Amino acid sequence: MMDMLSLGKRAKAASRILATTPTADKNAALLAIAEALEDQKEAIFEANQEDVNEARANGLTEALIDRLTITPTRLEGIAADVRKVADLPDPVGEEYDRLTLDNGLRISKRRTPIGVLGVIYESRPNVTVDISVLALKSGNAAIMRGGKETLRSNRVLVDAIRAGLTAAALPGDVVLFVDSPDRALVTELLHMHEYVDMIIPRGGAGLHKACRENSMIPVITGGLGICHLYVDQSADLEKALPVVQNAKVQRPSVCNALDTLLVHQAVAGQFLPMVVVRLAQDGVTFKAGAEAQKIVGDLDTVEAAGPDDWDIEWLSLVLGLKVVKNLDEAIEHIQTHGTGHSDGILTQDDANATAFVDRVDSAAVYVNASTRFTDGGQFGLGAEVAISTQKLHARGPMALKELTTYKWVAIGDWHVRE
């Protein structure tokens, strides 16, 4: 069994070195990591194919297999994202909220690394790279535990990352990997409060629940996305259709993909058949509420929604359809069944758009745009370590600034308190 305490000590020591590493050195390491990923691509593809073959043999769904697959195009994108992070401003050391008190004491906040991140995730080996490079740029060390279904892929990816760190003369222990599927090691990680400063779970509801209930370390939760689009009666239906299609079809296996389409009753008779005919060509099947079923229930791809279907993150080519009376009913549905991830309105009514944005309390709220944009890269942040749906510290895509905390800095002229 792995010695988790030794892992924690090594990560903590590396984090202290990295906290004061100059930006230029961190950027050099990032570029070296991108190069190492490209140099080791054949080994990465070979290991990943073994994971994919085993996943299929074990009966994993196509959605999960898609999540764990590394294609040449995806690896190119991963390496490109690493280079983008190197180009981003370094948040460490940034001073803000400056003020000078009446007594002349100068106060400011200065961004500092959090320290050691413990990240537990499932299925997506690209997350291994995202975590590593964002931790590195923000001055944090990372202890990562991926899913057993991607163990081979993650081993090779971590080898490439550590090779990049070594090539740039930075400690390899900045990135550490729990190289075992033993779940007992996760429990140990959750209890290592002396060495780990934050836990970030990326996976299903069960993983998030387990971390919240068992961790002795602060936990950032998120990633579970039951996402909605509401088509208002004023929406331009021709423009709304490709937005709905993109939100559902562009990559259905991820957390920001559309799960439920809410349509105002005044346009449902026209719009729902448009949606079903268009998206069925992409292989989408539909779960329809009672009113929606009256409109499109005679089509082969549509079946009645069950009572629990509004609470499912589909992660596949399944889309819920519901007719609502008005904006209020749409918002009530989102408040009841949403997870606070990504929800949007398609409308030409500015008042309805404003009301939706004001009242829907999700990490990302959209007006006339696909939910698929909830992503660190798409938001101009570079890669992300997670999508936070909680309300403390960080919310939405967690990129560089979200992986820092701050210290108060007070500069005086030999001040004493009276």
Same domain assignment for residues 233 and 195:
no
Tokens of 83: 């280079």
Same domain assignment for residues 286 and 403:
no
Same domain assignment for residues 160 and 191:
yes
Average pLDDT of the residues in 128-153:
95
Would you place residue 223 in the very low, low, confident or very high pLDDT band (cuts 50, 70, 90)?
low
pTM given for the model: 0.83
Question: Is a pLDDT exceeding 80 seen at residue 1?
Answer: no
Summarised one tens digit per residue, pLDDT across range 381-397 is: 766 788 888 877 888 88
Helix H segments across 40-169? 41-57, 62-68, 72-87, 126-137, 151-167
Question: Is a pLDDT exceeding 90 seen at residue 122?
Answer: no
Same domain assignment for residues 338 and 405:
no
Residue 32 within any structural domain of the chain = yes
Residue 383 within any structural domain of the chain = no
Would you place residue 253 in the very low, low, confident or very high pLDDT band (cuts 50, 70, 90)?
confident
Question: Residue 240 and residue 245: Cα distance in Å, rounded?
Answer: 9
**Number of domains making up the chain:** 2
Residue 353 within any structural domain of the chain = yes
pLDDT at 214: 93
Same domain assignment for residues 133 and 24:
yes
In order of 119, 129, 161, 178, the CA distances from 34 in angstroms are 21, 10, 8, 22
Across the chain, mean pLDDT equals 94
DSSP line for 335-386? HHH--SSEEEEE-S-HHHHHHHHHH---SEEEESS-GGG-STTTTTS-S-SE
Residue 255 within any structural domain of the chain = yes
Same domain assignment for residues 159 and 28:
yes
Q: By three-state DSSP, how is residue 161 classified? A: helix
> Can you give the residue range of the structural domain that contains 313?
227-373
Question: Residue 211 and residue 390: Cα distance in Å, rounded?
Answer: 14
Question: Is a pLDDT exceeding 80 seen at residue 161?
Answer: yes
Return the CATH number at 174. Answer: 3.40.605.10
Residues ≥6 apart with Cβ < 8 Å to 224? 204, 205, 208, 255, 313, 339, 341, 389
Phi, psi angles (nearest 5°) of residue 125: -65, -20
In order of 256, 319, 341, 367, 373, the CA distances from 364 in angstroms are 10, 20, 6, 10, 9
Would you place residue 198 in the very low, low, confident or very high pLDDT band (cuts 50, 70, 90)?
very high
Tokens of 331: 């918002």
Residue 416 within any structural domain of the chain = no
Same domain assignment for residues 154 and 242:
no
Other Cβ atoms less than 10 A from the Cβ of 193: the count is: 13
- Going by C-alpha positions, the residue among 29, 24, 20 that lies closest to residue 92 is 20
Same domain assignment for residues 401 and 297:
no
How many separate helices (H) and strands (E) can be counted in the chain?
14, 16
Q: By three-state DSSP, how is residue 124 classified? A: coil
Contact between 171 and 132 (Cβ < 8 Å): no
Same domain assignment for residues 249 and 350:
yes
Summarised one tens digit per residue, pLDDT across range 333-358 is: 999 999 999 999 999 999 999 999 99
